Amino acid sequence: MADVPHITLAKLPLANLRRKPFRTSALVIVVVMLTVAFYGGALLSMNLNNGLNSMRERMGADLMVTPQNTETKAEALLTGNASSTFYFTNDIGAEVAKADGVSKSTVQTYISSLAAACCDEKVQIIGFNPDTDFVITPWMASQIDGTLRRGQVVAGSGINVSTEGTVKLYGHEFPVAAQLADTGTSLDNSVFVNMDTVPDIISYSARTGHAAIPEKYAGKAVSAVLVKVRDGYPARQVAANIAKATGITSLGYVYPGGITATTKADLKAIIRYAAVFVVVFWAMGLIVMLAVFSSSMNERKREFAAYRILGATRATLVGIIVKESAIIGVLGGLIGISCASLAVLPFNGLIAEELQLPYLQIGVGKVLVLTAVSLLFAVATGLIAVIATAVRLSAPQTYLTLREGE
Amino acid sequence: MMAEESILEIRGLTREFVRRGASFPAVDDVSLTLGPGEFSAIVGRSGNGKSTLLNLITGLLKPSAGSIILDGSDVSASDDRRMSDLRNRTIGFVTQIHTLLPNLTAIDNVILPAVLRSGPWREKAIVDESRATELVVDSGLPDVIQPASARMLSAPQSDHMVRRAQMLLDQVLVGDLAFCYPKELSGGEMRRVSIARALMNEPKLLIADEPTGDLDAENTAVVMRLLRRVADDGTAVLMVTHDPDALEYADRTYRMDRGRLTLI
């Protein structure tokens, strides 16, 4: 007899929930759905916001000068929609640098590789000049030691580097000097090379029969000039000055700040839609839970009366149902968070591809905070759902309420 | 019986309800005194206020007028915590309707009042037994042959609860059904488990609303003998019944008619 387990006040709520497995499961499922919507929606929104911030940080230029009719390609390249190859055939970099209002300028060359063994899609090769660069070098410097030598590449986070530490492009194995952290932008699917390496890449591509750029332009092909304007100069004014200084009126101009603003607007629309969806979904779920708890109150009148007869205070009675709802909240919350995490976290790449927006997974710390907030949300939802029942049980002559209809 | 010795003292108790706009007294100017060991029965037709009277005594309903003094406490003036404590410690209530919790086994249902008790649960019988054990130990018996009851003192309080609950179930002849759920029990078996539950905290006043309502003659005798013994051990027993066989166990019988109580 000594080892026989018996009921305790703490075990009562769980015992009550076990007695009604169907009702309990239905309530848990409602909380799971609400938590998935809340946690999943918040996680996606935060990842998108993180991606936007990451993109903003990486776009250190105020103005991007591109060849005629290539603005769309350049924008797509920045937002991660597609890789491209386009280039000037003249020494545009020096001309742009002379324009009034230009504080800094640097050239970059973009080459879209053939489908490579390393990657699911074409790789964007970005050639940059480490001596003048002010866009890539600042954030790359924190992740690679020393300078990028000719023939070496720095791989974006989405590039599969071989066990030998190389990436094969146009049939040539390029040693990888470093691999960058995830940015949630097109840069993740790019490799970065020193400008001196660009002619080599063009040469390798020519050998495969698919010359990325005609070999005659190999030494001077420039895809874009990235410009940092002087303080007080509007980017559009500087663009006009560049047109005047170069004498070329058909240049393409891309304003990365504008792209960020457009992306931000798209993002806000998505987040607003998600928020409305979560609120409506939550209200509907809460109504369902209120109805279930309220009807179970009628069903359990005799049970509650028994507790009162045996000496349970109104507070004890309310405590029991509050604990029941808290258990449902915790259980539903944990399952919901697990399901949403399994649906979102392993598929970041796929989600980013589908959304066509910068998308960067938030850090572990933020995920843990979001998990805690979501769990609180789930428990709070359960508690709100039993408020009406608790108020009725707290009435002075509870027993009259409990015997209604008998 | 002197008033200061009474467990229950009711004076001019009235409870009115309103039906279709008209008020009527379900309990009308009732006075009743019950001392330790007294066994009183109340008979009367259904709807004449018997159950309302019991609910007023237990503080589950508030009176419209009059007073109820229970073990020295004014029931009407007690707040919820005090009244709940009285129901738990001082009153054992066998209800007319089945109120066993369906999710708990019979033995857990019996243990429940001890679990709901504020403060530590203590069984008088075990304390008494410990005194007897002390005598045995003091008589010079070596520890190795120390009686089992002495070892019980060092066992956790919960073991005492389980032991007492099982003993009560044995007394109402459903000890072998201790681990059955209410849905597995007959109406009579459930009634007996309810009685065991009402006795768990060793109440000073046992209130039984139709305790033999769904029992056959044999089981009625078992239950009534138990209630009589409870009364003989010093507990005041107040029983509402329609069963003439049950009345012979009571010391006094009252009739309740349209809310008024009269001694037969």
- For chain B, the domains span 1-90+205-217+236-264, 97-202
Distance from CA of B103 to the nearest CA of A (A): 5
Do A217 and A165 reside in the same domain of the chain? yes
pLDDT at residue number A327: 92
First to last CA, chain A: 39
**A86-123 per-residue burial string, b: 16 or more CB within 10 A, e: under 16:** bbbeeebbebbbebebbebbbbbbbbbbeebebbeebb
* Cross-chain Cβ contact B60/A399 below 8 Å: yes
Q: Is residue A86 part of a domain?
A: yes
pLDDT at residue number B39: 95
Q: Is residue A1 part of a domain?
A: no
Give yes or no for a contact between A32 and A339, defined as CB atoms under 8 angstroms apart.
yes
Distance, in Å, from the CA atom of A85 to the CA atom of B115, rounded to the nearest integer, reads 78
* Cross-chain Cβ contact A7/B102 below 8 Å: no
Do A71 and A176 reside in the same domain of the chain? yes
Higher pLDDT, B251 or A386: B251
Distance from CA of A393 to the nearest CA of B (A): 12
Residue B29 pairs with which residues in a beta bridge?
Answer: none
Higher pLDDT, A95 or B131: A95
User: What CATH code would you report for B97-202?
Assistant: 3.40.50.300
- For B105-126, the pLDDT digits (tens) are 999 999 999 988 866 666 554 4
B157 touches chain A (CB under 8 A): no
Rounded-to-10 torsion of CA B126, B131, B137, B143: 20
Do A125 and A164 reside in the same domain of the chain? yes
Q: Tell me, what's the ipTM?
A: 0.80
Q: Is residue A7 part of a domain?
A: no
A315: its two tokens? 């507070």
pLDDT higher than threshold 50 for residue B178: yes
B62 touches chain A (CB under 8 A): yes
Do A87 and A144 reside in the same domain of the chain? yes
* Cross-chain Cβ contact B103/A15 below 8 Å: yes
Give yes or no for a contact between A108 and A126, defined as CB atoms under 8 angstroms apart.
yes
Which one of A311, A314, A397 has the shortest CB-CB distance to B116? A311
- For A146-182, the pLDDT digits (tens) are 678 888 888 888 888 888 888 888 888 889 888 887 7
Residue B40 pairs with which residues in a beta bridge?
Answer: B238, B252
- B104 contacts in A (CB within 8 Å)? 7, 15
Do A131 and A113 reside in the same domain of the chain? yes
CB atoms within 10 A of CB A319: 16
- For A269-281, the pLDDT digits (tens) are 878 888 888 888 8
Do A46 and A138 reside in the same domain of the chain? no
pLDDT at residue number A64: 85
Instruction: Name the residue among A129, A185, A116 with its Cα closest to residue A157.
Output: A185
Region at B208 (left for phi over 0; alpha for psi -120 to 50; beta for the rest): beta
Which one of B58, B100, B108 has the shortest CB-CB distance to A6? B108
Report angle CA B174, B176, B181 to the nearest 5 degrees: 80
Do A178 and A133 reside in the same domain of the chain? yes
Distance from CA of B162 to the nearest CA of A (A): 7
Q: Half-sphere exposure (CA, 13 Å, Cβ side) for B29?
A: 1
Positive or negative, the Cα torsion across A157, A159, A165, A167?
negative
* Cross-chain Cβ contact A7/B163 below 8 Å: no
Which one of B58, B115, B155 has the shortest CB-CB distance to A309? B58
- Chain A interface residues (partner B, CB cutoff 8 A): 1-2, 4, 6-9, 12, 15-16, 18-19, 302-303, 305-316, 396-400, 406
* Cross-chain Cβ contact B159/A312 below 8 Å: no
Q: Is residue A372 part of a domain?
A: yes
B112 touches chain A (CB under 8 A): yes
Do A45 and A96 reside in the same domain of the chain? no
A30: its two tokens? 């409602």
pLDDT at residue number B140: 33
Residue B145: pLDDT band (50, 70, 90) is: very low
Show the low-confidence residues of chain A (pLDDT under 70): 1-4, 56-59, 78-83, 114-121, 139, 141-143, 145-146, 258-263, 353, 355-358, 394-406
pLDDT higher than threshold 50 for residue B80: yes
Do A156 and A246 reside in the same domain of the chain? yes
Domain stops at, among A236, A254, A272: A254
* Cross-chain Cβ contact B113/A313 below 8 Å: no
pLDDT at residue number A356: 64
Domain that holds residue A357: 12-54+262-402
Distance from CA of B258 to the nearest CA of A (A): 19
pLDDT at residue number A120: 55
pLDDT at residue number B261: 92
* Total domains in the fold of chain A: 2
* Cross-chain Cβ contact A397/B85 below 8 Å: no
pLDDT at residue number A81: 57
Distance, in Å, from the CA atom of B243 to the CA atom of B210, rounded to the nearest integer, reads 8
Do A267 and A364 reside in the same domain of the chain? yes
Do A225 and A86 reside in the same domain of the chain? yes
Architecture of domain B1-90+205-217+236-264: 3-Layer(aba) Sandwich (3.40)
Establish whether domains B1-90+205-217+236-264 and B97-202 are of one fold. Answer: yes
Taking the mean position of all CA atoms in its chain, how far away is CA B171?
15
Domain stops at, among A204, A221, A254: A254
pLDDT higher than threshold 70 for residue B161: yes
Distance from CA of A316 to the nearest CA of B (A): 9
Do A185 and A101 reside in the same domain of the chain? yes
